[in-house]
């Protein structure tokens, strides 16, 4: 008996069929309006992916309110614009290398290669399945996504950002409500070098130790009466999504602790040439989130940062009316005279962010990306603010840049502003901090390689010795 799933085989079947190739998989999904969402196998990742799947189902399998009323009055059956075939969104998860390594501190994690940041440990295996057609989209916590994606992949959209701040969680039974109240020598757990670096400056009297693992594991370690930990620093958004916001005693924000790039936001990664999934995602993205996170990621990219680099950011965006441009009120307009490359049908989807003219009565499933036409575009203006810092891992050095707000007209200009902020940070001394971090990491990689070579030699010597013993004849002594 063969498997009922067309892209799997049954290893016990006598008449096994080969796994269909990529083109056949995609063709079968297109006929059924089926999309598979891939994610990591953590509780938080699954919950986040479930929210995105629910939003997509609501977007594609229901009508805008005005059309629902019209069709109810006419007595006609409801049509979701898909020829009567509903969209289906299933979720599949997998464990990544980053999930399996729960012991190495994040700032010491080695990348797969010198050109890939350590963040790729959480995305590489998922992206492989995306590219072969098994997954149609990947749902990530944006802060885990490398700023440079693999060829053939792109971020299709970002959903509305949750609270990006960090949160303080106190050991069950302790009365403290802030870091200021913790006694000298108290141990605070976190898996983030960014948090440790910044908090060491503000609280030199406290001890910060690495703690990784899923949320249940961390809470068990914290609340264990025998553990040394008095508190944890976690992302506010993750706690909220997991229904654990009641454990938060206070939020941490600038100037004490600037949050991570992309923290609180979810990204949907797709294949760059997948027009079907592009059309599916239209209407899901939240352009203020995309523009602010684009600026943050542009900054991090120039700083060559991964999840292990202590970069903190704060960003804010306010939409402006065209009439507001007559008085910029101290806001700079550095990109006014710069000509952007014209958008094409195969331009990265985020380049359309905030510019696609989506009318309330437009069906989200109406194709807007095709090889022959672009979606209708509009003008948009926004005031963007971005501050960023780079801090030495021991807290001894700290570079902070808080430029004036700028006027931006697109995602690309927001991203460019982030890149400009990073270049200024480097001029102010951030380069020296980042160079030291890279030196420490490379030294660790060298030591790891030496240990691996020694283990390999020892194993070969052991095999050789066992071979000599097995080939020898035993001498019988009377």
| Three state DSSP letters for 257-269 | CCECCCCCCEEEE
- Percent of the chain past pLDDT 90, that is, above it, reads 56
pLDDT at 352 over 50: yes
The pLDDT value recorded for residue 187 is 97
Instruction: Report how many helices (DSSP H) and strands (DSSP E) the chain contains, helices first.
Output: 12, 14
**Spatial separation of the C-alpha atoms in residues 416 and 11, rounded to whole Å:** 51
The mean per-residue pLDDT over the stretch 77-101 comes to 66
pLDDT at 133 over 70: yes
**Spatial separation of the C-alpha atoms in residues 44 and 242, rounded to whole Å:** 6
Q: CB of 286 within 8 A of CB of 204? A: no
> Domain 20-60+86-110+117-157+266-284 falls in which CATH fold?
D-Maltodextrin-Binding Protein; domain 2 (3.40.190)
The pLDDT value recorded for residue 166 is 97
**pLDDT category of residue 9 using cuts at 50, 70 and 90:** very low
Q: CB of 156 within 8 A of CB of 129? A: no
Please pick, among 99, 144, 166, 274, the residue that the annotation labels catalytic: 144
Which CATH code for domain 286-336+345-361+375-432?
3.30.160.40
Q: Which two tokens stand for residue 382?
A: 């926004």
> Higher confidence at residue 446 or residue 158?
158
Of the given ranges (240-254, 279-293, 322-336), which has the lowest mean pLDDT?
322-336
- Percent of the chain past pLDDT 70, that is, above it, reads 78
Of the given ranges (27-31, 227-231, 241-245, 390-394), which has the lowest mean pLDDT?
27-31
The pLDDT value recorded for residue 76 is 44
- Rg (C-alpha) for the chain, rounded Å, is 26
**pLDDT category of residue 36 using cuts at 50, 70 and 90:** very high
**Torsion over CA: 184, 189, 192, 195 (sign):** negative
The pLDDT value recorded for residue 213 is 81
pLDDT at 121 over 60: no
Q: Which two tokens stand for residue 252?
A: 């941490």
Residue 46, CB-side half-sphere exposure with 13 Å CA sphere: 8
In which residue are the tokens 């940041």 written? 117
Q: Which two tokens stand for residue 117?
A: 């940041």
pLDDT at 365 over 70: no
pLDDT at 1 over 90: no
Nearest-CA neighbor of 453 among 445, 441, 442?
A: 445
The pLDDT value recorded for residue 2 is 43
pLDDT at 230 over 50: yes
Of the given ranges (73-82, 141-150, 340-349), which has the lowest mean pLDDT?
73-82
Which residues, 6+ apart, have CB-to-CB distance to 246 below 8 Å? Answer: none
**187-190 and 229-235 beta bridge pairing:** parallel
**137-141 and 266-271 beta bridge pairing:** antiparallel
> Higher confidence at residue 410 or residue 125?
410
**pLDDT category of residue 160 using cuts at 50, 70 and 90:** very high
pLDDT at 316 over 80: yes
pTM for the structure as a whole: 0.82
Mean pLDDT of the chain: 83
Domain positions in the chain are 20-60+86-110+117-157+266-284, 166-258, 286-336+345-361+375-432
**Spatial separation of the C-alpha atoms in residues 314 and 236, rounded to whole Å:** 15
First to last CA, the chain: 64
Backbone angles phi, psi at 38, to 5 degrees: -100, 150
184 assigned to active site: no
Q: CB of 434 within 8 A of CB of 315? A: no
Q: CB of 285 within 8 A of CB of 352? A: no
Is it true that 20-60+86-110+117-157+266-284 and 166-258 share their CATH fold?
yes
**pLDDT category of residue 65 using cuts at 50, 70 and 90:** very low
CATH 2.60.40.10 fits 166-258, yes or no: no
pLDDT at 235 over 60: yes
The mean per-residue pLDDT over the stretch 271-293 comes to 94
For the segment 422-433, what is each residue's pLDDT rounded down to a tens digit? 999 999 999 999
**Angle (deg, nearest 10), helices 287-302 and 411-425:** 30
């Amino acid at each position: 008996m063969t498997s009922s799933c067309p892209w799997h085989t049954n290893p016990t079947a006598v008449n096994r069929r080969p796994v269909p190739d990529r083109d056949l998989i995609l063709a079968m999904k297109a006929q059924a309006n089926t999309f598979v969402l891939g994610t990591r196998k953590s509780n938080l990742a699954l919950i986040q992916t479930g929210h995105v799947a629910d939003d997509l189902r609501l977007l594609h399998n229901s009508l805008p309110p005005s059309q629902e009323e019209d069709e109810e009055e006419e007595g006609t059956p409801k049509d979701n614009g898909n020829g009567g075939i509903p969209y289906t969104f299933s979720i599949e998860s997998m464990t990544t290398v980053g999930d399996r390594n729960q012991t190495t501190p994040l700032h010491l994690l080695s990348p797969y290669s010198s050109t890939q940041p350590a963040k790729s440990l959480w995305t590489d295996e998922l992206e492989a399945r995306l590219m072969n057609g098994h997954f149609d989209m990947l749902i990530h916590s944006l802060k885990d996504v490398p700023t440079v994606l693999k060829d053939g992949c792109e971020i299709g959209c970002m959903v509305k950002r949750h609270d990006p701040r960090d949160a303080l969680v106190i050991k069950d039974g302790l009365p403290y409500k802030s870091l200021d109240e913790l006694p000298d020598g108290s141990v605070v757990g976190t898996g983030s070098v960014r948090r440790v670096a910044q908090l060491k400056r503000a609280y030199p009297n406290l001890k910060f130790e690495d703690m990784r693992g899923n949320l249940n594991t961390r809470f068990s370690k914290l609340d264990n009466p025998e553990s040394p930990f008095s508190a944890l620093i976690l992302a506010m958004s993750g706690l909220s999504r997991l229904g654990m916001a009641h454990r938060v005693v206070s939020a941490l924000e600038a100037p004490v602790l600037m949050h991570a790039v992309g923290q609180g936001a979810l990204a949907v990664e797709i294949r760059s040439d997948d027009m079907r999934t592009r059309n599916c995602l239209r209407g899901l993205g939240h352009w203020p989130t995309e523009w602010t996170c684009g600026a943050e990621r542009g900054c991090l990219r120039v700083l060559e940062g991964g999840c292990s680099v202590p970069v903190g950011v704060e960003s804010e965006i306010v939409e402006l009316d065209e009439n507001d441009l007559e008085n910029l009120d101290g806001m700079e307009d550095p990109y006014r005279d710069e000509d952007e490359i014209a958008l094409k049908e195969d331009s990265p989807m985020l380049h359309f962010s905030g510019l696609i003219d989506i009318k309330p009565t437009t069906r989200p499933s109406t194709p807007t990306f095709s090889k022959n036409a672009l979606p209708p575009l509009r003008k948009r203006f926004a005031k963007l603010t971005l501050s960023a810092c780079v801090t030495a891992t021991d807290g001894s050095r700290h570079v902070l840049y808080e430029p004036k707000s700028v006027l931006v007209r697109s995602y690309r200009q927001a991203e460019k502003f982030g890149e400009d902020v990073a270049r200024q940070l480097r001029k102010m001394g951030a380069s020296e901090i980042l160079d030291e971090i890279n030196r420490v990491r490379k030294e660790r990689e060298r030591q790891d390689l030496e240990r691996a070579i020694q283990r390999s030699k020892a194993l070969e010597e052991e095999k050789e010795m066992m071979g000599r013993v097995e080939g020898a004849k035993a001498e019988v002594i009377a």
